[in-house]
Structure 1
Amino acid sequence: MATTPVPVLDGDSCPKLQMEKRVKNVFVTQPEDPRGRKKEKMCVPATTETSSKLLEAGVKALKRTLIARKQAELHELDVQLALKTQDFRSCMEALASRRSELETQQRQSKEEEMKFEKFVAEKEEKRQRALKQCEATLEQNILKQRRIEDLTEQLTKLETRRHILKQRTDKNKIYEDYLMKTLDRLPSLPRHNSSESLAVPIIRRHETLSVTHQGLLQRLRRMEAEVERQWRQLQNMKQQHSIATLMSSKELSELHSELESLREKNRQVEVNLLMKRGASREKVEEVGKLLMAVNNLAQECYIPEFGPLEGMSVLTMMDMVKEFVLDKADTERRLRRLDSCSTATLTDKPWRKSPKSIGSKTQIKSSSKASKISDSSN
């Protein structure tokens, strides 16, 4: 709202009252004034102007005074509005700085949370690697222990077989001695007929059977080793399957807990969203009620100088209501002041009744016109 400077009332602009000296009037019934003894030559000025001119001059002076007071009040309102605007801007700046600080803190907290999650993930990965390494070491130890047990069992079997073969050799020693003695007692044969002796085919048959027996024993050992290897592989597969089952059940439980936490967060977010929607609905209702109240006030306090009411904004309506209220208050104050002045005048000088009433009406009309002019200029 534009402010206008307060006009300075010049003493020369007002019509000068022409006063004349005349002797003080004293009623006969009144006692003589003792002050008149000391100052017998005291003169009371008397105006030569008529009462209508005096009333017009008074109305003009009162009009200027009211205009100046109105402009001073408007200036004070503008100063208060500027102070309120400055306070509002300072509050908005403080809120913006607070919002930036909160955003910075939120960003820092998110970064710290991401770092912590990364740290937890690294620790979990290290733990998984250590667990896998421990499991691999345990499997190797189990395999080595089984290998030691197998070798010990094979050594025991070989010792038993060696003992059995030694007993069998000792048992068949008498047959070897008998054959050697028989060969010693037989007549000597020619060298070319030595291969045709009866003992050579038997010995060769024995050697063949012994070689076949050794081959069968080696084949049996290989088959036993293969069966043992397959059995160990089956045990390893069973152990790996059990470990994988445990890990899968653990991951499944973790995912289930995460699912429950996400469901709880979703429920909380839904509750917060419903609460915010209810608050926003209440705010919209309050704003609608406030706009309806402003429209009703604008209709009650309509001033034609502000233009048509249909396309008027809310701030313009508030300004119009403020101007209407201020105008009504100012009119009421002036009416009360004029009523008091007229009452005092009627009690003191009854012969000035009609000009005073005419002046009060003229003053009311002129003040209303001045207020409309000041509102249109603002």
Structure 2
Amino acid sequence: MANNSPNFLDEADPRLKLKVGCGTRNIFVTQLGESREEKNVNHIPVVTETASRILETGVNTLQQTLVLKRQVELDDIHMQLLMKQEEFKGHMNALAQRRAELELKQQETKNKVKKFEKFMEDNELKRHRALKKCQVAREQNLLKKREIEDLTEQLEKLQLRQQSLKKRVSKYKIFEYYLMNILDYLPENYLEYGSDSLVMPIIRRHETLSITHQDLMLRIGQLVEELERGQRQLEILKQEHTTNKLTTNKELSELQSQWDRLKEQNNQTEVNLLMDQGQSRDKVEEFASLFIAMRNLGEQCYLHTYGPLNDMDMLTMMDMVKEYILEKTDTGKKATRLMECGSAMTAGTDLADKSVRVSVKTINSKTQLKSSSKVSGKSGISS
């Protein structure tokens, strides 16, 4: 160990000093092309390798020291690896143990679940059985209650019958007493049924009366049934009559409403017809007055070239009046031109004036005819 231990190095040993040559100078360049003065420049050594690399490759580092360092590092790493392996084995054992415990717990849980499911199935079966028994017991209780109610009702009926029979026995007790007293006075041979017996006619009379009574009761029962049937038929007929009456009243109301609507429609139609007739009457009267005015105007403006006036239609008459008015206007225009030419044409102008006056008179007469026709039409409407 003493031989392998590293020797202590002296700090003053020149071998341990770092020697740096003249390397690249670091100069901060601000402008290109400027003249640089390199006076008083401090050169900074640049080291690009790590310290371990420098120690490994250094000339002054002992190889034995480096080997020992590597050996110590390897031992530490090996010990750490062994510790990690032991720790990993411990973890794996713990995991295996926990897995076994977990599997055991899972198995126990499954067993418990199976037991619980079986317990639930048993409880469900028991519940179904209990519900079925309860349902059967409930049905039996209902049947028993119904039987008790029926028996109670029968008992009440029997008690009522017993009371009625007791009343009947007490009612006919006097007859029993009477018959018992009669037996004391009857002869010893009253039970003989011979022809000379005195009891036989009474017995036969009683039998006849009983048979007649039965026939009468049967007949009364039949009559009562017939009466009930008749009453039921009467009720049915009454219901049918009521139903028919309601339906008839409904149909009658519908027909009445239809008749009212038709009556209203007829009244409206009659009013519309009267209005249409009044309008047509007004139109006819207006057309007649217009026709009369046109006839009068045609008589005043008659031209022989159009033929007789009576055979002339309305359009031809209007053309004649138009031509007459055009001729008169042309005449009036010519007269005005002649008046402008000179005083020599005074006679012609007088004639033109006369013609103008005549045309004015004809126009005035036309307007008067139109106004008179309108007044006559209005008087006809008001009448």
Q: Same fold (TM over 0.5)?
A: no
Q: TM-score, normalised by structure 2?
A: 0.34
Pair member with larger Rg: 2
Higher RCO, Cα 8 Å, sep 6+: 1
